[in-house]
A and B are shown apart, each in its own frame.
Chain A
Amino acid sequence: MELALGLKYIAVALLIGFGAIGTGLGFGNMGGKFLEACARQPELAPSLQVKMFILAGLIDAVAMIGVGIAMFLLFAA
C-alpha cells in the first residue's frame, strides 16, 4: 500500500522531470535559431514569430500530456 504510494510519487516526478528536459532542450534550440534568423533578416521577424509559436505549441505537447497525466495520478487516482 505504501509502496504503491511511494512509487506513484516517483512516477509523477519522472513524468514531469523528463518532460521538462526534452522541452528545455527543444525550446532552447528553436529559440536560438529564431534569434539568429531575426538578427540576419529583421524583416522576417513577424512571420517567423508566428511560426515559432506554432512550433512552441507542438514541442510543448508531449511534455504537457505528461504533466496532465502526472497531475491526474497525483490528485485524482
Chain B
Amino acid sequence: MAAEELTLQGHIQHHLTNAKMCSTDAGIEFNKACSEAGFWTWHIDTLAWSIGLGILFLMIFRSAAKKADTGVPGKLQCFIEMIVELVSDNVRDTFHGKSKLIAPLALTIFVWVFLMNLMDLVPVDFLPAFAGWVGATFFGMDSHDVYMKIVPTTDLNMTVGLAAGVFLLMIGYAIRIKGVLGFIKELTLHPFHASNPVVQAILIPFNLLLETIALVAKPFSLALRLFGNLYAGEMIFILIGAIGLFQLPLHFVWAVFHILVIVLQAFVFMMLTIVYLSMASSESH
C-alpha cells in the first residue's frame, strides 16, 4: 500500500498486522517480505507474548506454591488460593468423570487466557511505539516497518491452537473411557436408533453427519468466540484512539466494560473445556 503510514486506514492496518517470520529462497525473512511465503509463516509477536505470559504464570504460581504455609497466609498466597479454589469448585461441580488432569488443565487455561486477554488493557500504541523506537535506534529500521501486536488472543492462530488442544483432549478422553469402538458407536448410533439392523445401517450416514457437525462445532465455536470478542475489543480501542481529544472518557468507559469481557471470556473458555471433557468421558445418552 502506498502512503500507508499517515492515513487512518494505514494506522489501523499497521496496528492490526502481526510480526511475521518466514523462510523464503533468500533465507529467513520478516514482515513484508513474507507475502509470498505461504503457510509456514510464523507470527513471532504472538508466539513471544503467549510463551512469555505462560512463563510468567508458571513463575508466579510456583513461587506461591513453594512459599505456601499453613500458618497465616500472605497476600499472594491468599490470591492464588482464591483462584485455585474457584477453579476447583467449578471442576468438582461440572466434571463427572475421574481424572487428575482436568483441574490443572482448567487452571492453566483460565489464568493463561486471562493474562493474554489482559494485554488488551495496555494502551494500544504504547508497546508497539516502544518496539518501533527500539527498531529505529538499534536496528536502523523505519519505525513504520516494525509490527507488533501485544494481545496473542487477537490472533486466530492462538485461539485455534488452544481449541485444537482441547479438541484432541476430547477425542483422547472419549477413546480412553469408551474405547475406539465405543467412540465410533457413539458417533454412528446416536441420535437415531432402530432395533432393525437394516434400518440402523441406513441411518448411520445421517447420524454420522449430525454427530460430526456437533463434534466439530465445539472447538470451532470455542476458538471463534474468544477471537471475535478480543478482536472486536481491540478494534474498538484503536478506533476510539483515532477520534482526537474526546477519546479519554470513551476509552475509560470501554476499558471498564472490557475488564468484564476479559474475565468472562477466560472463564467461559475454561467452563466449556470442562463441560466438553466431562461429556467426552461419560457414558452419554
Contact = CB atoms under 8 A, between A and B. Distances in A.
Interface in A19-77: 53-54, 56-58, 60-62, 64-69, 71-72, 75-76
B13 A65 contact: no
Contact of A64 (B13, B16, B225, B271): B225
Given A65-B225, A71-B231, A53 B264 contact: yes
A68 B16 contact: no
Interface in B209-244: 221, 224-225, 227-229, 231-232, 235
B224 A75 contact: no
A54 B273 CA distance: 12
B13 A66 contact: no
Which of B13, B16, B228, B268 has the most C-beta atoms of chain A within 10 angstroms of its own C-beta?
A: B228
Contacts of A67: 228, 232
Interface string B1-29: 00000000100110010000000000000
B237 to A, nearest CB: 12
Interface string B247-277: 0000000000000000011011001100000
Contacts of A76: 13, 16
Contacts of A68: 224, 227-229, 231-232
B235 A64 contact: no
B221 to A, nearest CB: 6
Contact of A75 (B9, B227, B264, B267): B9
Nearest to B265: A57
A71 B229 contact: no
Contacts of B225: 57, 60-61, 64-65
A60 B221 CA distance: 11
A47 to B, nearest CB: 9
Contact of A57 (B12, B232, B264): B264
Nearest to A72: B231
Contacts of B13: 75-76
B232 A54 contact: no
Contact of A71 (B9, B224, B235, B268): B235
11 contacts: A54-B267, A56-B264, A57-B264, A61-B225, A61-B228, A65-B225, A66-B228, A67-B232, A71-B231, A76-B13, A76-B16
Given A57-B225, A68-B232, A75-B16, 14 more contacts: A54-B271, A57-B271, A60-B225, A60-B229, A61-B224, A62-B221, A65-B225, A65-B228, A68-B227, A68-B231, A71-B232, A71-B235, A72-B231, A75-B235
